[in-house]
Amino acid sequence: MKLDKAKKRIAKQISKGFDGYPHISLAYFGATADCATEVVVSFMSAEGEAPQQQRFVSTEDVREDETIQSVLVKIIERANANTVTEVAGVAIK
């Protein structure tokens, strides 16, 4: 899947807002605010449940990595997520 297409599909899911569970949250981390080298995907199937997490790490910016962005789209699709949220910005590690 092309990078632009993957990013648009993720952005479209995020723009829908909260629509119940299952819920996927994306959080980006990096050494600087300009380069996210890690993304953490949190999955919650129901309210009050502990989230399941999966991390993807790269030496480059994960937001510009076609493979990682395509994997995020597939995770969202396979989880049949009603809600997708993204933590704004890049948290400094």
- Domain edges within the chain: 3-92
Q: In Å, how far are 33, 73, 76 from 12, measured between CA atoms?
A: 23, 11, 12
Residue 93 has a pLDDT of: 83
Q: How far apart are CA 45 and CA 65, in angstroms?
A: 27
What confidence score (pLDDT) does residue 1 get? 80
**Rounded CA Rg of the chain:** 13
Of 8, 13, 34, the residue nearest 79 (C-alpha):
13
Q: What is the pLDDT of residue 29?
A: 98
User: Residues 59-79: what's their mean pLDDT?
Assistant: 97
SS3 content of the chain, % helix, strand, coil (to 5): 30, 35, 35
**Strand ranges in 49-82 using DSSP code E only, listed in sequence order:** 52-57
* Residue from 51, 2, 54, 1 nearest 23 by CA: 51
Q: What is the pLDDT of residue 36?
A: 97
pTM for the whole structure: 0.93
Question: Is 90 exceeded by the pLDDT of residue 79?
Answer: yes
pLDDT, tens digit (0-9, with 9 covering 90-100), for 10-62: 999 999 999 999 999 999 999 999 999 999 999 999 999 999 999 999 999 99
